[in-house]
Structure 1
Amino acid sequence: MKENKNQLMNYAMYSGVFLGLFWVFKYLFVVIGISYPALNFLGTLLSIGTPVLLFYFLVKYNHGFLEGKMSFWHGVQFSILLFFFASILESVVVFIHVKWIDPAFISNLFDSMIKMAQTIDISKSLVAQLSEQPLPTPFNYIFNNVIMADVFLGLVLSLFIVPLSMRYKPQQNI
């Protein structure tokens, strides 16, 4: 079956908006969870929604646009694009947070990471090397820890969820 790249991009962008909004909602629990650990736990629980939404969008794409003939690699492509577009929306909110709302967020995060490295008793030279590293700029932090991490997560999840979504036969047309 010939791939329709235009359809792939359009639906990945459309679905990426919804996944991105979900991630923004989940990120709010991370930010508020700094003060209220119960909300941080709830934000962690919401993480199960990401693979569920990926499965939903893959099934909808496969049966709604491709008539159930999606190939494995086509599904992986869709998943990566979906996560990329969703990460763009999430990165805007993270940028606003780390640049204007809480500029100390990145430094506090790295300080916590250094303290954790000291408590788990790793070599002193590694801890010293970690503490001497310069803090990333908000752009570098977002590119590495939001966009690249989300796209990698999309790749890994797609390897497991695409085969499931290809086998799933919905009861009704989506």
Structure 2
Amino acid sequence: MSEKVLEIRSILPQNREAAIELVNQFFRMVNKLPLDGLFKIRPRAAAKMVDIYLKLRATDKVLFIGGFLGEELVSLLIARVEEKPYLIEEKNLFIDLAVTKQGKRKSGYMKPLVEETFRYAKEKGILAVELRAISENKGAVEFWKKMGFDPFYVRFRKSVK
């Protein structure tokens, strides 16, 4: 039996439920991280996020792609074009979310999506790709560094409660 090859495809409405489950896996993991006690992702946020990006797909300002093994969605990446008219670069591509299915992580299913993101950015004349990673998510920080991303901003947070 031949091994299935990862295929990168746009996330479409028929992939909605699988995409929601994958985003939910990521959100549950984030909510378990030892953060500041305020940063918690709300229930049903995954469905809202997926639905918003499914609508925005038609604007040509969003990249909403998945890595599929046959019909199984194993990885997902959401990025959006950010307009920056006050900078020389004028716009960048910001990765909002990148997640690989539990049990499939460290299998190489995210790298092709990131490479597709770079290709998309070049095609659109975008000079930089940016993202945020929670510093407590050590695996993500390590992955992004291996993909050639360098720390650029330091984002500070202070509770005022």
Q: Same fold (TM over 0.5)?
A: no
TM-score (norm 1): 0.29
The structure, 1 or 2, with the larger RCO (C-alpha pairs under 8 Å, 6+ apart) is 1
Q: Which of structures 1 and 2 has the bigger CA Rg?
A: 1
TM-score (norm 2): 0.31
Q: Which has the higher strand share?
A: 2
